[in-house]
Chains A and B, each alone.
Chain A
Amino acid sequence: MKVDMKIEKKYLVFRDEAREILDGIKKKAGASKQASVLLDFACVDFFSRSFVDEFINSVNKLRESRIEVTFTNLKPSLEGFINTVQATKAKIQREVTAQYDTKR
């Protein structure tokens, strides 16, 4: 099943906005066991870090449920910002895991 979804906002700031997108995708994908979602960010000019952090978590959850998400019309600066937040999250996870392992 293929789903197209356009994000109408210019600024995405809050975590609950990421969760709203997730809910919207789930609703559109319905009971489909495997879906492919194209998110259109043409209207979006700004992401906050909080939004991106939650958005990455949401996209990962969707992928676990076999819903593949791809982005279109994402401005290069926003794409770069997502990559930066993603890299920082991964780095922190590694650091925290290493700390836990050392304490054990």
Chain B
Amino acid sequence: MKFEYKKTFRFSELESEFVAISEEIEALKFPKGFLEFVLYALSELFANVREHSKAEKVSTTVKITDRNCLIDVADEGVGFKKTYTASGIYAKDDVSAIEFALSGLSTKNLKERGFGLYSIRKLGEDLGGTLTVESGLARAIIRENTIAFVHRKQKMKGVRVGIAVPVKSLDFYKVIGQ
């Protein structure tokens, strides 16, 4: 099995690109629960870009082989810190803003929880993979339930999220329901 998609497209094309990628991925054969994971992760990342980024362009890479899967979505929008600030939530720096996003702090309603990255993190951990989140001057690498922060030398615009996981079965609905 080999699937490769790499493209930079306009913000307005998020929906059509999601449909195009998904239709190709659905034709592949995966272990139980893995297709659900791929579509879930990609849809949540695209939804985050659409809801928060204010970006003009989005870069997406999806690479899947028999053994490994990589999903990488980057936008050149406002980034986490500004998104939280606009919602009245103070993040002292980019590290805090990433921590907020990973913990599921919602920008919409403090009595709810933003689930995009929070649930992707849980799924990635369940699969034994690595999640990388970058925004502004911070990069977080999440592996085996630990987060390591690295200071970026150059400030990046927007947000980049990369998920690298082995292709294997998972109890998708159980993990999502936790």
Contacts and interface: CB of A to CB of B under 8 A. Distances in A.
Interface of A: 10-11, 13-16, 46, 48-51, 53, 80-81, 84, 87-89, 92-93, 96-97
B112 interface: yes
19 contacts: A11-B43, A14-B47, A14-B50, A15-B47, A16-B50, A46-B22, A46-B39, A48-B40, A48-B46, A48-B47, A49-B115, A49-B116, A50-B43, A50-B44, A50-B116, A80-B173, A81-B173, A84-B177, A89-B112
A13 B15 contact: yes
Contacts of A46: 22, 39, 43
B19 A11 contact: yes
Given A14-B15, A93-B112, A49 B39 contact: no
Interface string B146-178: 000000000000000000000000000100110
Contacts of A49: 40, 43-44, 115-116, 119, 176
B50 A11 contact: no
B111 interface: yes
Interface of B: 14-15, 18-19, 22, 39-40, 43-44, 46-47, 50-51, 110-113, 115-116, 119, 173, 176-177
Contacts of B18: 11, 13
A63 B112 CA distance: 20
Nearest to A81: B173
Contacts of B51: 14-15, 50
A103 to B, nearest CB: 12
Contacts of B50: 14-16
B100 to A, nearest CB: 15
A50 B47 contact: yes
